[in-house]
Structure 1
Amino acid sequence: MTHRDTPLRRPQLPTGWRRLAIRLPILFFRAGLGPLFGKRLLLLHHTGRVSGLDRMVVLEVVSYNPGGASWTVASGFGPNADWYRNLRARPKTLIQFGNRPHAVTAHFLTPEEGAEIMLDYARRHPRTARRLCAFMELPVDGSESSYQEAGRAIPFVRLDSADGDRRARARTRVTP
């Protein structure tokens, strides 16, 4: 089963002080304190599908490719998360990584790509991977195959920077 044919139960959105705690990193980024999060978090700007208003969300970086300037993020609330649906409607957007803004284009990964990404993530961050799967009510027993199955159900998005595309083309350009 994949995230395309399996409706995930949307975890309950936090309210009160928990919502404030989750939204606090946005304030840190806006205050210029993004570097405090190292390479683990980024601030994603997205445009509301209905309202057209600028929205922001802080997401964990699942993987980062500095050479190609691309970041992979996961939708912990499944394919119905507002930011995910907004990117589906308008894939060109901005992120802030550290203190640097980047124009990016969102690419929605296949369930098989998600399986490999989740397996790699579980190897690097086993406790966090277990917690993420438990939060999404995805059964994992610690085996590689269970993380791959979980990765097939989690929507992953790769954010490719236009700057990264230019750098890659410059590296492959042959000078006469």
Structure 2
Amino acid sequence: MTTRRTPPPASSGLRRLAFRAPILLYRWHLGRLLGDRMLLLTHTGRTSGLPRQTVLEVTGRDPATGAYHLASGFGPRAQWYRNVQRTPQVTIQVGSRRMSAVAQPLGPAESGQLMAAYALRHPRLARALVRMCGLEVDGSARDYYRIGLDHIPFVRVLPDPPAQHEAPGPVPEAKEKRFRRQPGAGPR
């Protein structure tokens, strides 16, 4: 049974620094050290219109579409989550690969399914995520489904397809350039 403990603390001080430290790895071009389990999300601020960055855990991947699934651990009030609802065009970096993408917030039912699947694959991380949200669970798949349904929204981040380059056509033959003698020009 899901029960609410205390609300999650605001990110400030050392806790904020710890959450923001992985961004430095990406800025120093060391994102590959975090592997494919972490993702740098660059999104647009709702009110400022400025680029904002956050590092998030990849909770799942859809092999058919190449989409990444992200959980909003602080619920629907997380700033990055609210920003991608307003402006879904984002840039992501996974390891050393950087690409433009579109973020799609998912409905409660799909969020519940993704949370239950995540809890089956990573039980300890799922418990930690739920604790970070200030919730307690009994550990059943049904309970994790309810957490995703009611408290932790998920986002699907779908990378844009790579630009399709046209195959080069036949190279036109070089035409002989003919120079005309300009009046007043010296002898040839």
- Which TM class, normalised by the smaller chain length? 0.7 to 0.9
Go from structure 1 to structure 2 and tell me whether the alpha carbon gap of 1:80 and 1:165 turns closer, same or farther (over 3 Å shift): farther
How far off its partner does 1:156 sit?
Answer: 0.4
Which has more radius of gyration? 2
Deviations 1:78-101 (A, max 9, x none): 111111111011001111111111
Q: CA RMSD in A?
A: 1.8
- 1:138 and 2:147 equivalent? no
CA–CA distance in 2 between the matches of 1:137 and 1:84?
Answer: 18
The list of structure 1 runs, each at least 4 consecutive aligned residues, that deviate by more than 3 angstroms after superposition, is: none
Question: Letter of the aligned partner of 1:163 in structure 2?
Answer: P
Q: Is the 8 A contact 1:69 1:164 kept in 2?
A: no
Give structure 1 stretches of 5+ with no counterpart.
Answer: 1-8, 167-176
- 1:156 maps to 154
Task: Quote the Cα distance in structure 2 between the aligned partners of 1:162 and 1:43.
Answer: 16
> CA offsets per residue over residues 104-150 of structure 1, 9 Å max, x none?
11111111111111111111110110111122123310111111111
Residue pairs, 1:84-99, within 5 angstroms:
84-99=81-96
Q: Deviations over 1:31-86 (max 9, x none)?
A: 11111111111000011111111110000100023452210101111111111111
Q: Distance in 1 between matches of 2:125 and 2:163?
A: 31
1:28 counterpart SS class: helix
TM-score (norm 2): 0.79
Instruction: For 1:6-155, list aligned pairs within 5 A.
Output: 11-153=8-150, 154-155=152-153
Q: Distance in 1 between matches of 2:137 and 2:39?
A: 27
CA contact under 8 A between 1:68 and 1:165: conserved in structure 2?
no
**Residues 157 and 164 from structure 1, CA distance in 2 versus in 1: closer, same or farther, beyond 3 angstroms?**
farther
Number of residue pairs matched by the alignment:
158
Cα distance in 2 for partners of 1:108, 1:52 equals: 20
| SS at structure 1 position matched to 2:143 | helix
- Could you say which structure has the higher helix fraction? 1
Return the alpha-carbon distance in structure 1 between the equivalents of residues 60 and 25 of structure 2: 22
Distance 2:9 2:135 in 1: 15
Contact persistence 1:61–1:73 (CA under 8 A): yes
Cα distance between partner residues in 1 of 2:60 and 2:128: 17
Q: What is the CA–CA distance in structure 2 between the aligned matches of 1:89 and 1:19, rounded to whole Å?
A: 24
Matched position secondary structure for 1:72:
strand
Report the TM-score when normalising by structure 1. 0.84
**Percent pairwise identity:** 47
Structure 2 gaps of 5+ residues are 1-5, 165-188
